[in-house]
Amino acid sequence: MSQTPPPPPSPEQTHRFPCQQCGADYRFDPGNGTLTCDHCGHVTAMEENDTPTIRELDFRKALNDQLPAQEIEETRVTQCPNCAAEVAFDAAAHSTECPFCATPVVADTGTHRHIKPRAVLPFALSERQAHKEMTQWLGRLWFAPNGLKEYARKGRKMNGIYVPYWTYDADTKTKYTGQRGTIYFVTETVMVDGKRQQRQVQKIRWTPVSGRVARFFDDVLVLASRALPKRYTDALTPWDLSHLRPYSPEFLAGFAAEGYTVQLDEGYDEARHIMDGIIERDIRFDIGGDRQQIHQMSTKVSDVTFKHILLPVWLAAYKYRGKTYRFVVNGQSGKVQGERPWSAWKITFAVLLGLTAAGIIGFLIAQNQ
């Protein structure tokens, strides 16, 4: 029997925490896991969460709009006109710069009704540490323009963003049919230059097989954002999800949070693709032998649950000579990815240097001959 969808919650939930001493805003300090006031330096401990376990949510109920009302929230967001990122704003902010592409944006009155985050992976790196990692990464790119490197070294502010992800759990049981290949060798006689010679020729003997494999998938991770190229965020892995904490707005103090733009069912389709690849690997292992062929596989999926989680990313978007370069830093491990800039004159110089070296080597060889 279907249930009535939950009523919408109160809009414009804000994550502001006034300092107990001066009234300015606290921010979450990744270094010691406390709330710190940048204005007066006051530090206060984080409140302990009464529910230390991170509970999964039922996937089918979510698709049918049957989640409890407390699992849904509305936040004030605006969409970047350039990269389409949906960034949650503090109620006091009216204009800012998109952290994903450095485009100026003005906060509107729109709200984003969505499933609440169940967990958050707190920032472990401070902005200074993230900037150091990015600068070192740029320094290893010899063909990057010097002007961009210098621009980055000047210490322009980086943006700490909690990026939305889905995780999926599922129990799977798969039937399959296929063939197991066993390699063997036969001796053949061939004629070489009018002489008979023997050689070993590889053959494969195929045997029909069928069977079943089962696997429980835990926390299959899927990016729920379209603001950054997926090749960057995928390259930030691995994430150590054992450090996930039950969601608390204190972790967002001083940081921005992006609303998810990949819907729950879309994320599940990608998760199934990931699962199918692992199941296929399990089947090949189960078939055994030297070669494997899979003719058919039928998977039954049950007990699907999910979580909406937030993972920490430091972003820098630099506009250099009319082009925007974006860099992302894993806020847990410090791994860096980004758009690789190229310096035309450095490439030209390297090519000319290579041609000159080749000419000198050719001249010396000619002289020796």
Predicted confidence (pLDDT) per residue in 60-89, tens digit: 999 998 898 888 887 766 777 777 677 665
What was the pLDDT predicted at 343? 42
Contact (CB, 8 A) for 152 and 316:
yes
Q: Both ends of the chain: CA-CA distance in Å?
A: 93
| pLDDT band for position 3 (cuts 50, 70, 90) | very low
Model confidence at 359: pLDDT above 70:
no
Per-residue pLDDT of 273-292, as tens digits, reads 999 999 999 999 999 999 99
* Residue bearing tokens 């990608």: 270
What percentage of the chain reaches a pLDDT higher than 70? 72
Average pLDDT rounded to a whole number, residues 240-250? 91
Contact (CB, 8 A) for 165 and 262:
no
> Mean pLDDT across the chain, nearest whole number?
80
Residue 83 has which token pair?
Answer: 């990269």
* Residue bearing tokens 């920032």: 123
Burial class (CB in 10 A: 0-12, 13-18, 19+), 1: exposed
Reported residue count of the chain is 369
* Residue bearing tokens 């990026």: 163
What was the pLDDT predicted at 97? 67
Q: Is the peptide bond before 238 cis (omega within 30 degrees of 0)?
A: yes
Average pLDDT rounded to a whole number, residues 328-337? 93
Model confidence at 367: pLDDT above 80:
no
Residue 103 has which token pair?
Answer: 């485009």
Q: Round to whole Å and give the CA distance between 27 and 29.
A: 6
Per-residue pLDDT of 161-211, as tens digits, reads 899 999 999 999 999 999 999 999 998 888 888 788 888 889 999 999 999
Q: What φ, ψ does residue 92 adopt, rounded to 5°?
A: -85, -10
Average pLDDT rounded to a whole number, residues 347-357? 52
Model confidence at 312: pLDDT above 50:
yes
What was the pLDDT predicted at 349? 45
Average pLDDT rounded to a whole number, residues 10-34? 72
Model confidence at 340: pLDDT above 70:
no
Closest CA to 71 of 351, 308, 290, 281: 308
